[in-house]
Structure 1
Amino acid sequence: MTAEPMLSRYSAEYDLPVRGDPITAERYTSAEWMKAEDDHLWPRVWHLGGVLADLEEEGDLIRHNFGRESVIMVRQADGSIKAFYNSCPHRGNRLVLGDVGSTPRITCGYHGWQFDLDGTLARVQDPDDFPGGNPCGKVHLTELRCESFGPFVFWCMDPDAKPLLEWLDPFPARLAGYGLDNWVRVLNLSADCDFNWKIIRDNFNESYHLPTIHPELSTFINDGLSDTLFEMYPSGHNSMWMKGHQATTRADHVSGEVPAPLDEIAAAWGIDPADYKGRTADIRQAVIDAKRRLGAERGYANYADMTDQQLVDYFHCTLFPNLTITMSPEQCQILRTEPHPTDPAKCVFQHWVLVPPIKGMKEVMTPVGPVPLRHAEHRHSVYGDGVSLGFVADQDLSIGTSQQQGLNSRGFKGCILTYQEKRIQRFHELLDDYVKGRI
């Protein structure tokens, strides 16, 4: 990784150095490494807990199970949101067993202890039968930090972590033009998978796999290295800009007919694909012009605040350690892997889709097909049981199990990376620093 090939295009401002630490198999396979992550990584980072649409009224709550932990977020009377560990201080029973709900008090199903929404113990059976006297008003649920960004609510176990918006830097500013605040989560999927959570993180930190795993995308997303911009930020996060509404420059889509579905995308904005035979690369600018001209009347008020790049391109934001936000002008995809409670060779994959609420629109197209434009209920499955998690996500997950199996081989000596996979190298070096106590 000492010389930069001409093909890979890193931002001059955000091309950070890497050390070249070896990326060996034990971080994907060993219980010891998993415990080190549980001790030194997960308690120190911000976690996406849910969406604010599930927390509209006082007493609304959501639960987020993460590894061995479980956290509940609760809307307070003053409009704020508090987060608590989902554990009764009496004898540890989990208080909330469902994903979402609403209650005037949080009640333990074991012995009936009741807590006000601010976490204060309000009622117990036999209150005078305690050595220290009635515990009501004195005992509290253990609180965590809780902050929001856009339509999302986050929690963090570390009292010394940076405030959320600083932690997310530079994405709050970079995503502002999309107007995410009122977007609707129309897809809420998750699945149990037979591979370590980092396998998909590595996958989302590179585009090297697109020609082999996602070949059909090449007709409307330009994955050519000279046209893709990689960025690595001081915060530890990464990103990748890929030109949309343009066929890949890896193959000859420039001189011939406009390929599908780029032809349909163009026609949807009043552009005749026949006019672009032999110059398909020009369709991208034609779509920008059409969206500027027609967007408002079609209900896309957010177009006015977007840059030309945001109007047509794909912005893949890979947040350390385990969250991806993929932005296009009409869709936000959340893709995340979380650790299994006990098995390093398993994880939970999550896929959300959010869209802007366009007046009069009843249905939207998603990676699993058309769905109603309304807040979706959570659907959980086991990967491989036939339930799609999105056509591109299915392709990404398809390689996970075989890679996990291969990592267990004595023949695997450590990753050999291309320069375009430098973001993988940096991800693992930052992970090393957390796990080994260097930061």
Structure 2
Amino acid sequence: MADHDPRELQRQLADISKQPEPELRGTPITPERYFSKDYMDREWDKIWTRTWQIAGLSRELVKKGDYITTSLGPEKILCTRGEDDKIRAFYNVCQHRGMQLMEQASGNTRRLTCPYHGWAYDLAGTLKFVPDEADYPQGSPCGKLNLVEIPCEEWAGFVWYNMDEKCGSLKSYLGPIADQIDSYPMEKMTRTHWVTIEGDFNWKLVQDNFSESYHVPFVHPGSVYVLEYSHQHCQFDHYPEGHCRMFMPGAGPARVIKGGEKQTLEIMAEELKRWELDPDDYRGGKIRNLRADLQRQKRKLGEEKGYDFSTYHDDQLTDNWHYTIFPNLSFSLKPDGNIWLRARPHETDPEKCYFDMWFMTLFPKDATEYYSLIMREFVSIDTPAEHVQGKAGEVSAGPAIDEDLAIWPLQQRGLHSRGYKRDYLAGQESRMRYFHETLEDWLAR
């Protein structure tokens, strides 16, 4: 990746104006969509093969010959950086007899060589060599049976692909939220945690969960001391492209909490130390002053401590900006990082999915170690994130996300009950309803 990202010159303050409320149809979110194989098949045809998805990080494809592989449902995707320095995406399958071409998750190679019969493609996907080339009665396949390329773009430090050859640009797909997310230096963040969990729940339960804050005090009781969850004090927005956002004030207890200063100061001890604030100044009923004081202190000391906060609103210095990108991505943005969340469909079973969590840490300039408030541990910029994979309950996605993971299998089982007929949503769950109505619109196309 280039040392100087051209988007640096375009980075600006995000538009935080309240968006008009959409007209929602209120059609039933019936339970069978979470376990019907027919519904799963329709989603594959109309959703997964037509939406922009993330293959990996741009920094994984720095040198010519670097490649990464990824999966989505039954499909395998291969991304390469070519000799012309262009990143491309292909279906990861040899054109000879359907063998998966590259087996490793990542690597560097001069040619993409099939492990079965040795057909070799260059980094642009052109077939260059086959053993016994003269033995093909229909003529040499070289230069003719090339890899099938699909649309691929880079944005925000990620490599994106789309299996729809007629898709619009990534920028048009994301709409105005792209400029908002660009106010964070995403491409400078380091992936310090990388977890993939195979869960016994449908992928839509994940997106439902990250589309509302109604569950926070019950599923995340500790979070209420550092996060505002009440819909009365948060901002919810819907965009015509099907994406949504939620602004949640941080650095203090939710307004409904009486007191809470002890818990808030314990959780934020390292944060206060870093920004040279004295916890004693917030005892005795003064905890409500902390959020504004921390914003002022970060603005005052940010450059000295290795940060450029010039494109942040003051609220971004303390608050959680949460974006859900249709159909299956969530960006939970913090002033010093991003909890990147994704649910991918299982290959065959609608009652299973793969859940990915990356924590992207924004290290201060020249820092090699950093305390992550969200992950509650120190992380190192010199240690690449190990890809931890396993079943739900066997591996951890961090203290907060583990609490969500404990809920989804129980809900999946409950959706089968003869006693449950349909949803009955509160107004603050409009983002969840908007997600399902967007899903229905795509399925109807």
The alpha-carbon deviation at position 266 of structure 1 amounts to: 3.1
Cα pair distance change 1:251/1:348, threshold 3 Å: same
Aligned counterpart in structure 2 of residue 340 of structure 1, from 323, 327, 346: 346
Quick one: distance in 1 between partners of 2:412 and 2:92?
A: 32
The alpha-carbon deviation at position 267 of structure 1 amounts to: 4.0
Q: Does 1:409 align with 2:417?
A: yes
Q: Does 1:330 align with 2:336?
A: yes
Segment of structure 1 superposing worse, 14-23 or 58-67: 14-23
The alpha-carbon deviation at position 172 of structure 1 amounts to: 2.0
Deviations 1:277-327 (A, max 9, x none): 323222111111111111111111x21221112111100000110000110
Q: Does 1:25 align with 2:31?
A: yes
Q: Which runs of 5+ in 2 are unaligned?
A: 1-15
The alpha-carbon deviation at position 258 of structure 1 amounts to: 5.9
In structure 2, the residue matched to 1:7 is none
Aligned counterpart in structure 2 of residue 390 of structure 1, from 390, 398, 409: 398
In structure 2, the residue matched to 1:377 is 386
CA contact (8 A) 1:48 1:154 kept: yes
The alpha-carbon deviation at position 86 of structure 1 amounts to: 0.6
In structure 2, the residue matched to 1:170 is 176
CA contact (8 A) 1:219 1:260 kept: no
In structure 2, the residue matched to 1:423 is 431
In structure 1, the residue matched to 2:10 is none
- The count of residues paired between Structure 1 and Structure 2 equals 426
TM-score, normalised via structure 2 length: 0.92
Quick one: distance in 2 between partners of 1:253 and 1:96?
A: 56
The alpha-carbon deviation at position 170 of structure 1 amounts to: 2.0
In structure 2, the residue matched to 1:283 is 290
Aligned counterpart in structure 1 of residue 365 of structure 2, from 359, 366, 387: 359
The alpha-carbon deviation at position 160 of structure 1 amounts to: 2.4
Quick one: distance in 1 between partners of 2:115 and 2:75?
A: 19
Secondary structure of the structure 1 residue equivalent to 2:194: strand
The alpha-carbon deviation at position 256 of structure 1 amounts to: 8.6
CA contact (8 A) 2:228 2:253 kept: yes
Deviations 1:94-126 (A, max 9, x none): 011111111100010011100000000011011
* Identity value in percent: 38
Secondary structure of the structure 1 residue equivalent to 2:54: strand
CA contact (8 A) 1:266 1:283 kept: no
Aligned counterpart in structure 2 of residue 235 of structure 1, from 219, 230, 241: 241
Cα pair distance change 1:112/1:258, threshold 3 Å: closer
Q: Matches of residues 247-326 of structure 1 in structure 2 within 5 Å?
A: 247-253=253-259, 259-262=265-268, 265-276=271-282, 277-300=284-307, 302-326=308-332
Aligned Cα RMSD in Å?
1.8
In structure 1, the residue matched to 2:58 is 52
Quick one: distance in 1 between partners of 2:147 and 2:241?
A: 32
Quick one: distance in 1 between partners of 2:35 and 2:296?
A: 50
The alpha-carbon deviation at position 370 of structure 1 amounts to: 2.7
Segment of structure 1 superposing worse, 340-349 or 352-361: 352-361
In structure 2, the residue matched to 1:210 is 216
Aligned counterpart in structure 1 of residue 85 of structure 2, from 66, 69, 79: 79
CA contact (8 A) 1:254 1:279 kept: no
Quick one: distance in 1 between partners of 2:17 and 2:416?
A: 35
Q: Does 1:198 align with 2:207?
A: no
Cα pair distance change 1:12/1:355, threshold 3 Å: closer
Quick one: distance in 2 between partners of 1:324 and 1:257?
A: 28
Cα pair distance change 1:264/1:125, threshold 3 Å: closer
